[in-house]
Structures are given as structure tokens and as C-alpha cells.
Amino acid sequence: MQKNTTKAKLKAGETVYGSFVRYPDPGLIEFLGYQGWDFLVFDAEHGTVEPRDCENMTRAAELRGVTPIVRVTTNQQPIILRFLDTGAQGLLVPWVQTAAEAEAAVRSVKYQPLGIRGLAGVRAADYGQTQSLGEYTKQANAETLVVLQIETARAVDHLPEILKVGGIDVVFIGPSDLSQSLGLPGQAQHPEVQAAMQRIADAVVPTDVALGLMVRDVETARAWRQKGARFIAVSIESVLGPAVKNYLQQAKE
């Protein structure tokens, strides 16, 4: 198991930058690995990524030392197990709304004595070829990154209790679903949504848990970095779309 450089940077107080990718293409991940991302999130929730895809995408990320993280479809132990067994070094769990749900997510990620993750000589454990499974479980418990997504009004209300759960590395704001939960779908810049996001930041930044969120552009990334966010992600479409449009506009002038 490789060292989780993203987790190490966060623990050192640094800010890390990554991109969400919903397309199950290892070649794309390998290419993105050359661009300098700290981490890449393979989006199985809003993309078509399956465990087999995740395994090959993880291999591609490892080639360039980029931390592979997977956003699973739901907070269920059997689903989390299958995606983590591919070798992904981090898990992003959507729709965490209570401390109990946060505890369930952490238990699904961690091996005994910290959790209930099933153990086997799979790819995540180097197929049992480089160390004993007992040694691997200790390393995995230390290296695997746990990211919980806060994206509902209920989750915001329960955040103080969620933050008391051990084993959480990042609390990640999902602006789009948060806007829906507040009755303002698609209006992430609405004052009520921004106020809820600020409530999250105010609760998380003073703790040892890193604040993360999805941004839409450089300006938003800079603004939230100033507010204390240290796990900053953008969709690959948000980067690619403007770049292509800008190229075509200038090429046609």
C-alpha cells in the first residue's frame, strides 16, 4: 500500500487540490496524473464508475503518485468494501446527516479494532504478497482518508455531533444538494445557501478535521481557501469546458 500523500499534507496543515472524474477511463486518469493534482475523486455516485473501473483507475493514479479517492453511491458497508478493496486510498461518503451515519462510514472504512471492514488478500492489500494481512490492516487504518459529505440542512444542524466522531479526516461541502435541501435547487450562490456553507466552515475550521468543498472556478477556490478550506475539488468539466471555449474563441479571432 502506497503512502497517502494527500492525507500527509492535510495533517501537516497544507491545502490540497483535486478533481472529480465521473468517466471510467484509466487513460484519462493517467493523463490527469501528469497535471499536478494532489488527488482525484472517482465519482461512482454521479458517474458510471464500477468497482472494476475503480481498480484500473486506481492503478493509473498510482503511476503518478496521485491519491485515488472514490465517492461511493451510498453509505453501506458492502458497497464501501468493494470499492476500497480496489486499492483506493480514500473514501468520500455522500449524504451523511447524523453522528450515527458518520460512525457507520468510519467503521466501514477501518479494520479492527477501529471498524468492521472485511479483510482479504485483495489488491488493496497487495494480494497479501508484500506483508502480512495484520501489518496491512494497521497501515490501511493509518493511511486511508475518510471524507464525509455534508449536503443537507439536517446535516448542518447535526454537524457539531458529527465532528465528535473519531476517524474523520475531511468534512466536504456539497453546494448543489445543499441548495436543494434548502429549497433553492441550483442556487448555490443564494445568501441562504452561502450562510449554511459558512456555518459549516465556522464549525469545521477550528477543529483537526479539514474543511473541503466543490468549487466551480479559480476565484471560488481562492475565496474558500481564505475561509479555511484545505481540501479543494473541482469537476473536470468545470476546468475543461472553459479551456476549450477559450481556445476556440481565440483560435477563431
Task: Tell me if residue 174 falls in helix, strand or coil.
Answer: coil
Question: Which own/partner contact pairs does 34-37 have at CB distance under 8 Å and 24+ positions apart?
Answer: 34/64, 37/66
* Contacting residues for 162 by C-beta, under 8 A, at least 6 apart: 96, 98, 99, 102, 148, 150, 155, 168, 171
* Catalytic-labelled residue, pool 3, 11, 46, 154: 46
- CA neighbours within 13 Å on the CB side: how many for 59? 12
Given a contact cutoff of 8 angstroms between Cβ atoms, the answer to whether 23 and 43 are in contact is no
Beta-sheet pairing, 170-173 with 90-93 = unpaired
Environment class of residue 51 by beta-carbon count within 10 Å: exposed (0-12), middle (13-18) or buried (19+)? Answer: middle
Would residue 46 show up in a list of annotated catalytic residues for this protein? yes
Task: Tell me if residue 13 falls in helix, strand or coil.
Answer: coil
Name the H helices within 115-190.
133-143, 153-162, 175-181
Given a contact cutoff of 8 angstroms between Cβ atoms, the answer to whether 20 and 43 are in contact is yes
Nearest residue to 237 via CA among 252, 220, 217, 222: 217
Given a contact cutoff of 8 angstroms between Cβ atoms, the answer to whether 227 and 194 are in contact is no
Q: Any idea what DSSP says for residue 111?
A: P
Which residues are tagged catalytic? 46
